[in-house]
Amino acid sequence: MGIFEGKKGLILGVANDRSIAWYIAKFIMDQGGVCGFTHLADADEAKQKKNRHRVEKCVEQYPEQTKFLVPLDAQSDQSIAEVMATAKKEFGEIDFLLHSIAFAKLDDLKVDSIATSRDGFKLAMDISAYSLLAVCNAAKDILKKAKVDDKREEVLEAGASVLTLTYYGGERIVPGYNVMGICKAALESCMKYAAYDLGIDGIRVNALSAGPLKTLAGSAAGVGEFQPVYKQMAPLQRIVTHEEVGRTGGFLLSTMSDGITAETVHVDGGYSEMGTPGRLLDKYRA
């Protein structure tokens, strides 16, 4: 019996079969969970159809555990509300919610952070950071609340779990990550405040910070270029895998992590804890 047996929830933001969100969703469904998915909405009908097709290719592997696939415009409160209405109709309440939504224009990613356009900054922040608050607010009535025995101060049944995806560029300067790093810093702050707001109902909110995996979003921000350095600096001396990140994401969305909230959990082979280049220095020693 899987750890998600009898559980249901939302997966927001799968782009294709290399998305971290997809590997988390795969783990959940392999463990018995049922999911509702969204795909990127677009005013251009052909582009939206293409976005949907990418996600359909993923979820067709799990026909019995995929409840629905609908468009989501993260900048539209109405679109977010429609997704939550669909989830309420199909599930009643949900046990987990994965937020994997981020975007910045290439023109803004490719310039120095100080050269980010004003409109580009607003757009990136709206989609990449504010959307977590908007989603949590819209979902608060369908997120499962914890059942607590007040007399015994005992949790009888864990509440829902929300997870967002971040990156080390939100904590430290990562040249090339630029405005997206600023957005991730804001996202992590949004996560903490959302954890406080929802914590009164026993609902948890966390962030997962993966190493430089090759994904559609990561490629746009040049994350793949960092892999050789990560490999040599990280204590594990390797790049983590999509599967490893998927398992950790699943853990954070499951009741097995019911005492964890307002945390950013790193899955990066230890790279984020290094204070020096470590073994990379061996290349420069005589």
With respect to residue 63, please indicate whether it lies within any of the assigned structural domains. Answer: yes
Residue-wise pLDDT for 240-262, tens only, equals: 999 999 999 999 999 999 999 99
Calpha distance 98→121 (Å, rounded): 24
Residue 212 lies in a domain: yes
Reference 94, options 35, 38, 42; nearest CA is 35
Note whether residue 2 is domain-resident.
no
Q: What is the pLDDT of residue 130?
A: 98
Residue 1 inside a domain? The answer is no
Range of the domain at 22: 8-284
* Cβ-based neighbours of 27, under 8 Å, separated by 6 or more: 246, 247, 249, 250
In a domain, 3, yes or no: no
Q: What's the domain count of the chain?
A: 1
Residue 25 lies in a domain: yes
Residue 286: its pLDDT value, please?
55
For the chain, which ranges sit under pLDDT 50?
Answer: none
pLDDT of the residue at 138: 98
Residue 142 counted as domain residue:
yes
Q: Name the helix (H) or strand (E) containing 106.
A: helix 106-109
Q: What per-residue confidence (pLDDT) applies to 216?
A: 63
Residues 10-54 have pLDDT tens digits of: 999 999 999 999 999 999 999 999 999 999 999 999 999 999 999
- Does the residue 166 lie in any domain? yes
Active-site annotation, residues: 167, 177
pLDDT at 121: 98
Partners of 270 in beta bridges = none
Provide the CATH number for the domain around residue 126.
Answer: 3.40.50.720
Q: Where are the beta strands (DSSP E) in the chain?
A: 8-12, 34-40, 66-72, 96-99, 147-149, 154-157, 161-166, 204-210, 264-267
